[in-house]
């Protein structure tokens, strides 16, 4: 994790909680800071990209391992 990254661990929560926590972190993040979201609700595969696109953010990286979805989200440049 880089110094300009905030970690939001939403494992164990069902949507829309992971997306709501992501939104709050992005709104509070200083300029140039990305937010890494960890979620284990399969609906996050759909909800997070939909939220990011609609709110003017972009998915910088995404991965899945051992049932945990990881999204790195930041502002479009």
Task: Sketch out the chain's domains with CATH numbers.
Answer: 5-75 (3.30.110.40)
Q: How confident is the model at residue 9 (pLDDT cuts 50, 70, 90)?
A: very high
- pLDDT of 2 strictly over 70: no
Cβ-contact 47, 61 below 8 angstroms: no
Cβ-contact 32, 47 below 8 angstroms: no
Q: Which of 36, 34, 35, 42 is nearest to 13 (CA)?
A: 42
pLDDT of residue 67: 96
pLDDT of residue 3: 59
pLDDT in tens, 14-53: 999 999 999 999 999 988 899 999 999 999 999 999 999 9
pLDDT of residue 76: 76
Strands across the sheet containing 34-39: 5-9, 34-39, 68-75, 57-65
Q: Which of 38, 31, 48, 34 is nearest to 6 (CA)?
A: 34
């Amino acid at each position: 994790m880089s110094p300009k990254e905030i970690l939001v661990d939403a494992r164990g929560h069902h949507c829309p909680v992971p997306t709501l926590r992501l939104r709050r972190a992005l709104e509070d993040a200083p300029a140039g800071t990305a937010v890494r979201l960890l979620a284990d609700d399969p609906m996050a595969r759909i909800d997070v990209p939909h939220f990011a696109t609609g709110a003017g953010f972009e998915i910088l990286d995404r991965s899945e391992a051992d049932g945990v979805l990881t999204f790195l989200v930041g502002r479009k440049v």
